[in-house]
Amino acid sequence: MKKYSLIISLLVVAFVVTISSCKKNDDPVLNESVILIDSIVHPDTINFGEKLEINYYGVIGDGCDYFSRFEEIPLAEGEFANTFKIKVWKYREDAANCSEQLKYLTDAQIGLTGMLAGDFLIKVVQPDGSELTGEVFIKE
């Protein structure tokens, strides 16, 4: 009889451990994607050594979408060396209660220094792989 009690006790403990380790993960799923940038605003000309402020504008998405990060993209072989290439990322929380109100990218700014004198190109990589471009003249 003790043998059966021991086996039943071990089965009950194993069942409880198995059930408690199968905790459901209620954390939202985050999906990241590139934001479609509508425009960038920057000065046309700055002096050598000054900081270049670049502001980015676009629609992030609905109530479940949030600005995530900037990612500087390495230049491909043959691209103009005095170029800054970037992607702007958002993340989406897959949740049931998202507002349908559009969120806009505001206050997304980068300040750059250390550019060479002459023409400086800004390239923003869009979700479809195309590029939004801007140009600044860095005068000596």
pLDDT digits (tens, 9 = 90+) for 76-112: 999 999 999 999 999 998 776 888 899 999 889 999 9
Residue 55 CB burial class (10 angstroms; 0-12, 13-18, ≥19): middle
pTM for the complete prediction?
Answer: 0.75
Phi-psi region of 94 (alpha: psi -120 to 50; beta: other; left: phi over 0): beta
Give the domain ranges of the chain.
29-139
- 29-139: in CATH 2.60.40: yes
Instruction: Mark the ranges of the chain whose per-residue pLDDT is less than 70.
Output: 1-30, 96
